[in-house]
């Protein structure tokens, strides 16, 4: 059984990276935004901030992105004096103003903690500009002090939402920390194009909260290079940029999440339209 799971995981990972149902897209006007949480950026663990910057670098280094942007990659520097690739959640209104003068298509939004809520705020904000969000990856969203709506209500202009969130276990009480919850569509309370990913870490709350972003982004680095876990965030982003169908992205993501469940020894509750299942180690 374990061998079958490993084989399926490898096949799913390959499918997520290679499946393409459309011709090469023009990504030259694309924008990628990654938002950290906390009252200020340095409150976030260094490994989380570093991984956010590395994720943007990895997206822009992908051969498809390079070929589709004349080697420039997706735009990520939006604010004056921005000296790192990611941005802090407290700047979301400034970011939305900056997007107002850009075509920003495709638009990728990623946020962790308060950054997840801020990413949802940006999605609602750009809706008034007539823009769509191709991918919103909201990791364990926590309310900010300046939200324009419910951080777990996905607006209609978001084409695809991946939502890893923490389901607390008794170990959470060792270091209690705010956690996210399941997302729904703002208009009809449906799960259309939303994948809720409930993570049941047997860890203190603060560590579990960190992992809601860090482990879907690959987890710890290997000594010889690469990461110990599937780079779900990167894989999903590249699939969206290729123009893969949501159903294909969901199916392949499940295989990567099964690897995460097995290696991290956690149960993962998946929920989308007409699908509700639990992945076990």
Q: For the segment 11-69, what is each residue's pLDDT rounded down to a tens digit?
A: 444 445 444 444 678 999 999 999 999 999 999 999 999 999 999 999 999 999 999 99
Q: Which residue has the tokens 């990623």?
A: 110
Helix axes 46-61, 205-214, angle to 10 degrees: 10
Backbone angles phi, psi at 34, to 5 degrees: -125, 125
Q: Which residues of the chain have pLDDT under 50?
A: 1-9, 11-15, 17-22
β-strand pairing of 194-199 with 87-88: unpaired
pLDDT value for 128: 96
What pLDDT score does 24 carry?
A: 78
- pLDDT at residue 219, as a whole number: 98
Q: Are 259 and 230 in contact (CB under 8 A)?
A: yes
Task: Report DSSP state, residue 222.
Answer: P
Stated pTM of the model: 0.92
pLDDT of res. 59: 98
DSSP 24: P
Domain boundaries, the chain: 2-279
pLDDT at residue 23 in the model: 62
Distance CA 231, CA 3 (A): 21
Tokens of 39: 């009252």
């Amino acid at each position: 059984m374990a061998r079958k799971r490993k084989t399926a995981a490898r096949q799913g990972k390959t499918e997520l990276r290679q499946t393409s149902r459309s011709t090469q897209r023009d990504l030259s006007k694309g924008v990628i935004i990654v938002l950290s949480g906390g009252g200020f950026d340095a409150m976030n663990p260094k490994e989380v901030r570093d991984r956010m910057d590395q994720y943007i670098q990895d997206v822009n280094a992908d051969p498809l992105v390079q070929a589709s942007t004349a080697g420039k990659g997706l735009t990520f520097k939006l604010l004056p004096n921005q000296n790192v690739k990611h941005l802090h959640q407290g700047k979301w209104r400034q970011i939305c103003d900056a997007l107002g003068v850009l075509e920003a298509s495709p638009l990728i939004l990623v946020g962790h903690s308060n950054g997840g809520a801020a990413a949802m705020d940006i999605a609602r904000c750009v809706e008034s500009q007539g823009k769509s969000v191709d991918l919103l990856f909201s990791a364990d969203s926590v309310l900010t002090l300046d939200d324009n709506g419910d951080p777990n209500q996905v607006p209609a202009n978001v084409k695809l939402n991946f939502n890893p969130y923490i389901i607390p276990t008794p170990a959470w009480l060792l270091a209690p920390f705010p956690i996210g919850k399941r997302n729904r569509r703002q208009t009809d309370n449906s799960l259309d194009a939303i994948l809720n990913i409930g993570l049941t870490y047997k860890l203190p709350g603060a560590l579990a909260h960190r992992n809601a972003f860090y482990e879907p982004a690959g987890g710890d680095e290997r000594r010889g290079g690469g990461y110990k876990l599937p780079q779900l965030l990167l894989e999903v982003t590249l699939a969206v940029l290729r123009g893969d169908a949501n159903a294909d992205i969901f199916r392949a993501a499940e295989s990567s999440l099964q690897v995460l469940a097995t290696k991290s020894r956690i149960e993962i509750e998946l929920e989308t339209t007409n699908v509700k299942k639990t992945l076990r180690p």
